Amino acid sequence: MMSNQPRLVEVRQNVLKQNDLLARELRRRFQEADVCVVSLVSSPGSGKTAFLEKALTQLRPKFRVAALVGDLATENDAERLARSGAPVKQIVTGTICHLDAQMVENALAEWNLEELDLLFIENVGNLVCPSSYDLGEDLRLVLLSVAEGEDKPLKYPTIFNTADVAIITKIDLAEAVDFDSATAHRNIQSVRPGMKVFEVSAKTGAGMGELLQFLSARSAKPEKILAG
């Protein structure tokens, strides 16, 4: 009904505002504990968990790393990530298509942030809803796999606009799917001029070193930056 429309908009704005307040509080806690928080957003199956499996394993010798991972159902991703030996917690969202700051706060309740250097948060696979919800993170990574089509930044500009860094994943498959790297880069730059972009393969490890070096440097502990 038409008369319901303004009310719905108002409620939605209030929910978002409440999330922003909580995210601001989380960000303050993260800064106080000196933990660098990196979130990952992408469409389902772009390779967030595969990237994190490698990242947690490779960063762990030098950094105290941990991960939260959101999915509508199953603990599958937490089980995959826990094999790295890092502390991992699954957030099961049920019908909700994104993580919000309250879910992150609840998931962290039993963890001591002082004991962490880097916390990763894998969002629910979705190129739309997660863009509106600040989780208090320092850095938001948006992943785009070579098999999704070079036009995704143009079709889903908000998620690219609310992220800090883009990662083109599964580059080992680029040739098989006729991936046009120049067009993908041009499309990313057209929605988010100046955006930093990495190309990686979690399968072969290509590009992983450069990206992990970048993330290490963003951590609050400069003395631990991975060597070359």
Ligand X SMILES: Nc1nc2c(ncn2[C@@H]2O[C@H](COP(=O)(O)OP(=O)(O)OP(=O)(O)O)[C@@H](O)[C@H]2O)c(=O)[nH]1
| The one segment of 94-102, 177-185, 196-204, 210-218 that binds ligand X by CB under 6 A | 196-204
| 97, 126 Cβ separation under 8 angstroms | yes
At residue 91, φ and ψ (nearest 5 deg) are -110, 115
Indicate the DSSP class of residue 123: P
Three-state secondary structure call for residue 227: coil
Options 35, 41, 58, 77; binder of ligand X; rule CB under 6 A: 77
Shortest Cβ 154–Mg ion spacing (Å):
24
Look up residue 122 and give its DSSP letter: E
> Judged by CB, which is closer to ligand X: 42, or 84?
42
Q: Which range in 24-32, 186-194, 195-203, 214-222 contacts ligand X by CB under 6 A?
A: 195-203
Of the candidate residues 26, 39, 42, 48, the single one contacting Mg ion (CB under 5 A)? 48
The two three-digit tokens of residue 159, written as one number? 């998620």
**Nearer to Mg ion by C-beta: 152 or 192?**
152
Q: Which of 22, 47, 59, 78 binds ligand X (CB under 6 A)?
A: 47
Task: Report the candidate in 94, 90, 100 with the shortest Cα–Cα distance to residue 73.
Answer: 94
Q: State yes or no: residue 202 binds ligand X (CB under 6 A).
A: yes
The half-sphere exposure of 146 on its side-chain side, counting CA atoms within 13 A, is 19
Question: How many beta carbons lie within 10 A of that of residue 156, not counting itself?
Answer: 18
Residues of this chain that bind ligand X (CB under 6 A): 42, 44-50, 71, 77, 125, 169-170, 172-173, 201-203
